């Protein structure tokens, strides 16, 4: 894979702008977190992976009915709060 060499100017605050070509290649969007990892020849810029990057990798054992899940949460949350001695939230009471 060809190396992309780009000169960047560091601001007074120590900031740089990641070139669009690099952002696109790494899939970096506003708000993403990036990390600099030390490598043999210097540092490597990588996009930090989040849980959302793994959506779809793990398949559930069975289909999940979202309405059933919501209804179960409506029943289980107040019961759990009562059992723990915590006052139930007004919307669950």
Query: What percentage of the chain carries pLDDT values higher than 70?
Result: 70
The topology under which CATH files domain 1-52 is Pemi-like Protein 1; Chain: D (2.10.260)
Strand ranges for 1-93 from DSSP E:
34-39, 42-47
pLDDT digits (tens, 9 = 90+) for 3-16: 667 788 999 999 99
Q: Report domain extents, the chain.
A: 1-52, 60-92
The rounded percent of the chain whose pLDDT value lies above 90 is 19
Q: Is the pTM above the cut of 0.75?
A: no
Q: Is the pLDDT of residue 72 over 70?
A: yes
Q: For residue 8, what are its two tokens?
A: 């960047």
The neighbouring-strand residues paired with 45 are 36
């Amino acid at each position: 894979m060809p190396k992309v060499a780009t000169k960047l100017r560091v601001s007074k605050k120590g900031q740089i702008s990641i070139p669009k070509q690099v952002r696109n290649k790494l899939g970096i969007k506003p708000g993403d977190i990036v990390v600099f990892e030390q490598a043999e020849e210097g540092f490597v810029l990588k996009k930090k992976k989040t849980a959302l990057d793994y959506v779809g990798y793990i398949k559930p054992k069975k289909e999940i009915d979202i309405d059933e899940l919501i209804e179960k949460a409506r029943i289980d949350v107040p019961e759990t709060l009562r059992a723990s001695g915590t006052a139930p939230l007004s919307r669950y009471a």
